[in-house]
A and B are shown apart, each in its own frame.
Chain A
Amino acid sequence: MDNFLAARSQMALSLGFHIIFSCIGMVMPFFMAVAHYYYLKTDKIVYKNVTKAWSKGVAIFFATGAVSGTVLSFELGLLWPKFMEHAGPIFGMPFSLEGTAFFIEAIALGFFLYGWDRFNKWFHWFTGVIVGVSGLASGILVVAANAWMNSPAGFDFVDGQYINVDPIKAMFNKAWFSQSLHMSLAAFAATGFAVAGVHALMIIRRQNVYFHTKSFTIAAVFGCVAAVLQPLSGDISAKDVAKRQPAKLAAMEAHFFTEKSAGLVIGGIPDPKNKKVDYGIKIPGLLSFMAHGDFSSEVTGLDKFPEKNQPPVPVTHYAFQIMVGLGMAMMAVSFLYFFALWKKKTWLQSDWLLKLFVAATPLGFLAVEAGWTVTEVGRQPWIIYNVMRTADAVTPMPGIGYSFYMFTLMYFSLAAIVIFMLYRQIKMVPKLYDLPEGAQK
């Protein structure tokens, strides 16, 4: 396997794996905090059971997220030493703060998981909230680092030298806000739908309905609120990308030629050789509106960039279509759910709505992976946009292919074990948690 391709694949694999665990690690503590709060307020044992059942799952995900994150912090250097040599001191600020956030998260998690009946109950609850808040903070910080790669700031690049470095400015680069907002919402949407889907399935099977209904409601409300906000934040992101990375926007939209009143292409198969899109639906003027808020404005096409600076169009375009499509689907499900909550309580008991949620279980995570593909592949051929090429950053060590195979094997076995363990966890719910109200202490 070609060294460069292997390094890119290994990076993509590791990040794609880590993001799932980190989303869950960021969001589940909030779900638990809500369940825990209801328990402390109402004294209903079911809420305690929900909290405990979730916290077991989270411990598994947290450990996997922590080790895969540790791997990433070495991998950046193992695979992209030239990048880290120059970028490390510039975009390192969020990472140093993130270290603090992780530490607090790990400490708070120790208190939370092992603290049942040991501390004042509100202190114990509060440690759970801290786990969530610091997890979210670390997510925002890493995304700010990634945003710097898309929108480099805080230094001057003169004659191949990086001078006048200002790590604070680098952290608050132009992309950090739109990306962090979109990512945080994505984490809530993806985790909310995934958790709600699993519990919906158990309700349909009529197993431990009481327990699973409570769990379902908490997860679904979080997920649906985020899913409704997600397209709004996506619109902010798109306008942002149009300004700072026009080549990425053009690739996302398979927009080959610069034009006024540009049309939005939905679906279709981009043909980069002949610079056209086959079978797509084109809505006139909409791309101009999405990118600049004005139906007649000009949208830069790929023709403005030399061939060697153009990102791969098909992958970026497909990934973008997938993300937006899934986002719309999730938004539709969310509106239905809110409508049911508001007007049609009977729908909440009906299997078809639950089945819809079961079908939507993986959608959020698929959208997350697709979204990252847009961001990362759309930045190519640059590792630091307009400053350093990815190909110039790769490690000189040959044989990265073997390392890629090894990590692939490792991650796939881990994923298999985690799924297997989760399955067992759910199977054990009746034994552990479904005693009738009052039968437990």
Chain B
Amino acid sequence: MLYVVIIYLWTSILLYLLLGGADFGAGIIELFTSKANKIQTRKTLYEAIGPIWEANHMWLIIAIVILFVGFPVIYSTMSVYLHIPLTIMLLGIIARGTAFTFRHYDAVKDDMQDLYNPIFAYSSFVTPFFLGIIAGSAVSGHIDLKADNFLDAYIFSWLHWFSVSVGLFTVAICGFLAAVFLIGETDNEHDRLRFIRKAKAFNIAAVICGSLVFVSSLIEDIPLIDWVFGNIVGIIAITAATLSLAVLWYLMYKGKANILRILAGFQVTMILLTTTYRHYPNIVILKNGGYLSLIEHSGHEKTIEALAMALLIGSIFILPALFYLIYSFQKKKVDYATD
């Protein structure tokens, strides 16, 4: 049953990265869009994510609930030592979620939009940046349970080159996912080309930030190279990701939108797989070489069993409904287009 829970945890994180990430990415793209194209971008974005945007963010809640119910020590340790980035991320989540809703549902469309729009765009950048920092810090070995001063305990636990690079990398990935997703959502050639250019730009940004992650891991003695290339799964996954990237670039102009999406999603999945596989089941790596493990630090047996049952039963209700939601709105859009 423990493995069921772990699989759900990993899958929720993945889905949050993919779906929530594309959602953040849409805001990031808006941030990097010229004034002239902003309005059009906003419209495409809203039509694309409107009906499901709430559901996209539920994955984070599922992940966090799994963590505090099933792996309480991991949850509480991260909450203590990563308090500051978590708080900033939360402020980002509040600002973004409300700004997104406000700008659409405000009954009068006037200058208030000039307040909502930048808040939405900037918090779309800040939130995944700090999510990346949190993920990077968890495995970077900077969390020091013995720290006796504020800076070591609560600042340098997360503020270092590696986690900052992971943060930037996360932002780039989000932008990339969103751009690829939006290619298929446009209704004219001009916009399609615009999003293709954006996808390429973010892809290049992701490669640069990815290299930064590697460089910083060398500087800070984090065995990232070994995690990625030191085992067969890592090598296969990273090769597959690179190959799919090549295919994606090749197909960018002619490919079907859905194939592009699958390729982009596949790449991100492979990246998450490589970076988590090698040090599984340890998801927090501490300063003294210790770690917090999903196996050793899991909750009571009965709790895990109940949690697994709750997740399985929940999926029976959720997944069909979710697929039907996505399917209906995809299908209806096609209907509109042919009307």
* A residues whose Cβ falls under 8 Å from a Cβ of B: 56, 59-60, 62-64, 66-71, 73-78, 81-82, 84-86, 88-90, 92-93, 95-100, 102-104, 106-111, 113-114, 118-119, 162, 165-168, 395-399, 403, 406-407, 410, 414, 417, 421, 424-425, 427-428, 432
Contacts and interface: CB of A to CB of B under 8 A. Distances in A.
Contacts of A88: 68-69, 72, 75-76, 299
A421 B64 contact: no
B159 interface: no
A212 B29 CA distance: 42
23 contacts: A59-B101, A63-B98, A67-B98, A77-B75, A78-B86, A85-B72, A88-B68, A93-B306, A95-B68, A96-B314, A103-B58, A104-B317, A106-B54, A107-B318, A109-B54, A111-B51, A111-B325, A165-B300, A167-B302, A168-B306, A397-B154, A417-B98, A427-B108
A74 B325 CA distance: 28
Contacts of A103: 55, 58, 62, 314, 318, 322
Nearest to B90: A71
Nearest to A162: B300
B322 A395 contact: no
Contact of A82 (B76, B303, B322, B325): B76
A85 B76 contact: yes
Nearest to A77: B79
Given A95-B65, A104-B318, A397-B154, A64 B98 contact: yes
A424 B106 contact: yes
A110 B51 contact: yes
Contact of B302 (A102, A106, A166, A407): A166
Given A89-B300, A92-B65, A102-B58, A97 B314 contact: yes
A128 B65 CA distance: 26
Contacts of A73: 61, 64-65, 68
Chain A CB within 10 A, most for which of B78, B93, B150, B302: B302
A395 B80 contact: yes
Given A59-B101, A71-B93, A107 B307 contact: no
Contacts of A100: 310, 313-314, 317-318
A173 B64 CA distance: 24
Interface string B84-97: 00110011011101
Contacts of A428: 107-108
Given A67-B98, A70-B61, A107 B322 contact: yes
Contacts of B90: 70-71, 74-75
Contacts of A59: 101, 105
A99 B314 contact: yes
B50 interface: yes
B44 to A, nearest CB: 16
Given A111-B51, A425-B107, 8 more contacts: A62-B54, A63-B98, A69-B61, A74-B64, A100-B317, A397-B153, A397-B154, A421-B106
A89 B57 contact: no
Interface in B218-261: none
Given A100-B317, A421-B107, A114 B50 contact: yes
A77 B76 CA distance: 6
Nearest to A93: B306
Interface residues of B, number: 62
Nearest to A100: B314
Nearest to A79: B79
Interface of B: 50-52, 54-55, 57-58, 60-62, 64-66, 68-70, 72-73, 75-80, 83, 86-87, 90-91, 93-95, 97-98, 100-102, 105-108, 150, 153-154, 299-300, 302-303, 306-307, 310-311, 313-314, 317-318, 321-322, 325, 328-329, 332
Given A64-B98, A165-B300, A406 B321 contact: no
A280 to B, nearest CB: 42
A67 B90 CA distance: 9
Contacts of A406: 87, 91
Contact of B73 (A74, A85, A395, A403): A85
A74 B79 contact: yes
Chain A CB within 10 A, most for which of B69, B86, B102, B311: B69
Given A104-B317, A119-B328, A114 B51 contact: yes
A416 to B, nearest CB: 12
B79 A414 contact: no
What 8 pairs across the A-B complex have the smallest Cβ distances?
A: A92-B69, A77-B79, A89-B299, A100-B314, A63-B101, A81-B76, A88-B72, A67-B97
A103 to B, nearest CB: 5
A96 B98 contact: no
B65 A70 contact: no
Contacts of B322: 103, 107
Contacts of B54: 62-63, 66, 106, 109-110
B282 to A, nearest CB: 18
A81 B80 contact: yes
B310 A97 contact: yes
A89 B72 contact: yes
